């Protein structure tokens, strides 16, 4: 009984002691808590700063608003102006050309003498033909009473010998001109190769081509002389045979002299026409664009002398890639920029050449190109012949269409290894986050694209998206 009472008293003392210790700890905690509070708050703030520093920040982006407007899709290329009707004046006959006193830019009128060839050789041939004509006419008049003399036969034989000698001389001349033509052809082939390699100028190439053409014309002229000499030999031989036959049948001479007279009259008509054409006249009212040959010299028929035209009657020629030319239609609008004036000029496509040609680009790539011909719409044209212009030919136009900048587009990832040509993607900003969206593009210009579906007006799209932009990326718009 005494033990239980002592145990109870001991437990009561221990409980009182523990309560006293707990009370002392509470008092100590209350005493030191104001001192530790700043350290606790500082630690919590440091943790928050670290969390904020390592969180991904929004990416600054440039944006554009989807809008409605008008759009022109154009094919851009350099072109040049040229005179619509250009006249190349060449010599109709061979001979010695007098010095041309015209300069580039001189005004000429239709029918005006612009170049002259010395007519004396042709006039001499005319006088010779007239003499032969009078001879045949006189002999025809006396055919009934006078038979051919022996001297006439001797003369005919001498004419045969002279004609044969002339024929041999002409044949030798043909061989010489043939050799010169072969040399000119080789020179032309070399200059073409050198021009293609960029070693010589286009003028040197054209000079070699002109030399070849000149030699060809000279060969044709000499061949005609051979034919003429051969015909003269045949005629002389026939004349001798006729003279010999005339000893038995004088009446036959009437038809012979008629044929000779007709032949001389035809020759005389040709010589007279050639003599009249020694004065070369202007075919139009216009201006001298170029003087190809100014100094006096002996020239062959067909030599180019002058280039005439009207500098106000201009058109535009643009060589487009064949893949671009198929998009251009007649009557399409064309804008001319950077031609030297402040405002743009306008033109209209008149003609698309049906045949393409090969052109080597500045990078050495062979391209198939097609010439597009356009007419000026403006009444006053402040340009001249062969001026450089930058053209924009309209191949499509739309009004009040949905537009976004091209810099907002990028190719979508391939689906089933197939990419649709008119399907693109863009990033749209929704709640300050980028969202990838697939869209359909119908037309594109150099700067904007027409959207068929996938976007709404006033939506904002990201320009020039980088690899950091993904769907759901936080972004901030640059001001």
Measure the CA–CA gap between 401 and 180, rounded to whole angstroms.
Answer: 67
- DSSP class per residue in 313-375: SEEEEEEEEHHHHTT--TT-EEEEESSSSSSPEEEEEEEE-SS-EEEE-TTS-EEEEEEEEEE
**Cβ distance 174 to 166 under 8 Å?**
no
State whether residue 419 is helix, strand or coil.
coil
Three-state DSSP string of 57-87: CCEEEEEEECEEEEEEEEEEEEEEEEECCCE
Domain borders along the chain are 1-55, 62-71+399-477, 74-83+312-397, 87-115+283-309, 116-282
pLDDT in tens, 24-43: 656 555 555 555 666 666 67
- Ranked by mean pLDDT, the top range of 58-67, 159-168, 204-213, 319-328 is 319-328
| Mean per-residue pLDDT of the chain | 82
Residue 452 in this model has a pLDDT that exceeds 80: yes
Measure the CA–CA gap between 266 and 250, rounded to whole angstroms.
Answer: 25
Measure the CA–CA gap between 311 and 386, rounded to whole angstroms.
Answer: 10
Measure the CA–CA gap between 205 and 201, rounded to whole angstroms.
Answer: 7
- DSSP class per residue in 96-113: EEPPP---TT-EE-TT-E
pLDDT band at 2 (very low <50, low <70, confident <90, very high): very low
Residues composing the chain = 479
Measure the CA–CA gap between 188 and 200, rounded to whole angstroms.
Answer: 12
Give the domain 87-115+283-309 fold. OB fold (Dihydrolipoamide Acetyltransferase, E2P) (2.40.50)
Q: Which CATH architecture has domain 74-83+312-397?
A: Beta Barrel (2.40)
Element containing residue 88 per DSSP (H, E): strand 87-90
The closest alpha carbon to 314, from 384, 393, 404, 371, belongs to 384
Measure the CA–CA gap between 138 and 180, rounded to whole angstroms.
Answer: 45
CATH 2.40.420.20 fits 62-71+399-477, yes or no: yes
CATH 1.10.287 fits 116-282, yes or no: yes
pLDDT of residue 179: 82
- DSSP class per residue in 424-444: EEEEEEETTEEEEEEEEEEEE
Calculate mean pLDDT across residues 322-351.
90
pLDDT in tens, 416-443: 555 556 678 999 998 888 899 899 898 8
């Amino acid at each position: 009984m005494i033990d239980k009472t002592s145990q109870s008293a001991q437990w009561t003392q221990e409980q009182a002691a523990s309560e006293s210790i707990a009370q002392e700890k509470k008092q100590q905690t209350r005493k030191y808590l104001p001192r530790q509070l700043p350290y606790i708050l500082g630690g919590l703030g440091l943790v928050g700063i670290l969390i904020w520093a390592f969180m991904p920040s929004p990416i600054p982006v440039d944006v554009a608003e989807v809008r409605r407007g008008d759009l022109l899709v154009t094919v851009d290329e350099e072109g040049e102006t040229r005179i619509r009707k250009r006249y190349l004046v060449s010599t109709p006959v061979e001979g010695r050309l007098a010095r041309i006193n015209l300069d580039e830019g001189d005004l000429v009128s239709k029918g005006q003498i612009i170049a002259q060839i010395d007519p004396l050789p042709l006039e001499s041939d005319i006088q010779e033909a007239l003499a032969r004509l009078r001879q045949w006419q006189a002999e025809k008049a006396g055919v009934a009473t006078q038979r051919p003399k022996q001297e006439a036969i001797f003369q005919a034989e001498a004419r045969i010998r002279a004609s044969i000698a002339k024929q041999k001389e002409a044949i030798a001349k043909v061989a010489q001109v043939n050799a010169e033509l072969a040399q000119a052809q080789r020179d032309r082939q070399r200059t073409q190769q050198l021009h293609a390699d960029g070693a010589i100028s286009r003028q040197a190439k054209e000079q070699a081509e002109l030399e070849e053409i000149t030699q060809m014309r000279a060969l044709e002229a000499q061949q005609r002389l051979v034919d003429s000499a051969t015909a003269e030999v045949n005629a002389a031989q026939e004349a001798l045979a006729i003279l010999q036959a005339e000893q038995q049948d004088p009446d036959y001479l009437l038809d012979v002299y008629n044929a000779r007279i007709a032949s001389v009259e035809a020759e005389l008509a040709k010589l007279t026409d050639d003599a009249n054409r020694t004065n070369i006249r202007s075919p139009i009212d216009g201006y001298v664009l170029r003087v190809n040959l100014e100094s006096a010299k002996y020239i062959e028929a067909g030599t180019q002398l002058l280039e005439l035209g009207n500098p106000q009657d201009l058109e535009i020629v643009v060589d487009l890639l064949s893949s671009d030319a198929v998009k251009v239609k007649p009557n399409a609008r064309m804008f001319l920029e950077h031609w030297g004036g402040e405002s743009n000029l306008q033109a209209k496509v008149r003609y698309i050449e049906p045949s393409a040609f090969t052109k080597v680009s500045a990078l050495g790539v062979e391209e198939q190109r097609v010439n597009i011909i356009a007419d000026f719409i403006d009444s006053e044209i402040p340009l001249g012949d062969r001026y450089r212009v930058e053209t924009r030919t309209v191949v499509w136009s739309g009004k009040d269409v949905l537009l976004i900048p091209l810099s907002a587009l990028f190719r979508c990832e391939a689906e089933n290894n197939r990419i649709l040509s008119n399907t693109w993607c863009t990033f749209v900003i929704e709640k300050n986050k980028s969202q990838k969206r697939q869209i359909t593009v119908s037309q594109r210009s150099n700067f904007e694209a027409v959207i068929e579906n996938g976007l709404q007006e006033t939506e904002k799209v990201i320009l020039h998206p980088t690899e950091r932009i993904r769907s759901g990326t936080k972004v901030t718009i640059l001001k």
